[in-house]
């Protein structure tokens, strides 16, 4: 009898393990594998007040103007080979009035460089050269997986060096949205050249592990254990990193650059509490601005004039400290 009970329990254990592996691979495909179109979260429309548009008339005008400007630019396509032999690409927009100022714009999850055109236009107006990378697994860059900023932080160190050596950039800013915000926060913990002057992180998460755990609970009503742990192992095997490694909060503790953290107070994808945690943990000079009624990466849309004012003040203050 005990033998049969043991065999039954063993069989159940195998079935459960197979089920977890299937679920783990599904979550990997949804959240890490390149090319999946299904979103892991609800639309940002739910973060806006009832009856409200995600964009104001002013912001619509800014976006259309930015689109026209972006489409007219002559861009140089830069390439680098990553540490794991991926061909990565970025677009460079030269500004004749840059005087050594440059910004690297980091796009979000399943986005690409073209999605940063509104910010590119803003920075161009402030006299910056613009570098727009497609992160690994996105756009024109190679890669079969999304690094959530972790492996990408090393790629960005190479982009920084490229600006310094090829374009003589003397004052470099990093500005990221969502996953791109977490990316630049992860970069902040590395040993950076003196030419990197400031970092702006809009709607960034503390770590991949905490963000995916939040999504599992928020969308599916599921606990993170054991599914997230299994998916993390699958990600290590297939993509080379554990979720626990990809931590912006651990990296930003070692930050030494002026840091501006921006976050919408109605963000349903990355909870606003994460911005407060990042702010409290971050080393160096730092500032936190949370925007009422703004959803995920909607702060610019919600308060375009105030958003630009904050950026201008931050840039001016940083550059005056050179």
- Strands (DSSP E) contained in 53-208 are 76-81, 87-93, 101-106, 129-133, 171-177, 196-202
Task: Compute the residue count for the chain.
Answer: 322
CA atoms within 13 A on the CB side of 296: 19
Write the CB contacts of 206 (distance below 8 Å, at least 6 apart in sequence).
Answer: 247, 248, 249, 274, 277, 278
Burial (0-12, 13-18, 19+ Cβ within 10 Å), 252: buried
Cα separation of 196 and 198, whole Å? 6
Judge if the upstream peptide bond of residue 234 is cis by omega within 30 degrees of 0.
no
pTM: 0.89
- Tens of pLDDT, residue by residue, the chain (322 residues): 565 555 554 545 445 556 566 777 788 888 899 975 544 444 443 333 322 333 445 455 556 899 999 999 999 999 999 999 999 999 999 999 999 999 999 999 999 999 999 999 999 999 999 999 999 999 999 999 999 999 999 999 999 999 999 999 999 999 999 999 999 999 999 999 999 999 999 999 999 999 999 999 987 788 888 999 999 999 999 999 999 999 999 999 999 999 999 999 999 999 999 999 999 999 999 999 999 999 999 999 999 999 999 999 999 999 997 5
Cα separation of 241 and 31, whole Å? 14
Pairing status of strand 196-202 against strand 259-264: parallel
């Amino acid at each position: 009898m005990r033998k049969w009970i043991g065999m039954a329990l063993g069989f159940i254990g195998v079935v459960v393990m197979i089920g977890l592996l299937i679920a783990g691979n599904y979550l990997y495909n949804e959240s890490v594998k390149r090319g999946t179109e299904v979103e892991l979260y609800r639309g940002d429309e739910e973060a806006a007040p009832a009856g409200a548009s995600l964009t104001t008339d002013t912001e619509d005008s800014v976006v259309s103007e930015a689109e026209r400007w972006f489409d007219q630019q002559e861009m140089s396509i830069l390439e680098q080979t990553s540490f794991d032999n991926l061909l990565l690409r970025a677009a460079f927009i030269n500004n004749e009035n840059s005087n050594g100022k440059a910004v690297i714009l980091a796009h979000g999850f399943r986005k690409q460089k073209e999605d940063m055109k509104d910010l590119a236009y803003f920075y161009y107006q402030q006299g910056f050269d613009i570098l727009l990378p497609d992160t690994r697994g996105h756009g024109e860059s190679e890669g079969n997986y999304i690094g959530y900023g972790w492996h990408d932080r090393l790629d960005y160190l190479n982009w920084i060096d490229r600006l310094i050596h090829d374009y003589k950039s003397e004052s470099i800013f990093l500005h990221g949205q969502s996953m791109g915000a977490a990316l630049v926060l992860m970069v902040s913990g590395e040993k950076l050249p003196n030419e990197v002057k400031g970092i702006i992180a809009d709607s960034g998460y503390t770590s991949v592990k905490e963000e995916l755990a939040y999504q599992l609970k928020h969308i599916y009503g599921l606990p993170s254990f054991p599914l997230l742990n299994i998916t993390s192992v699958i990600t290590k095997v297939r993509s080379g990193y554990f979720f626990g490694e990809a931590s912006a909060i651990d990296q930003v503790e070692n930050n030494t650059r002026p840091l501006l953290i921006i976050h919408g107070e109605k963000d349903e994808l990355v909870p606003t509490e994460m911005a407060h945690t990042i702010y409290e943990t971050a080393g160096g000079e730092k500032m936190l601005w949370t925007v009422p009624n703004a959803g995920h990466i909607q702060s610019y849309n919600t308060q375009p004039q105030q958003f630009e004012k904050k950026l201008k003040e931050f840039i001016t203050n940083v550059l005056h400290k050179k």
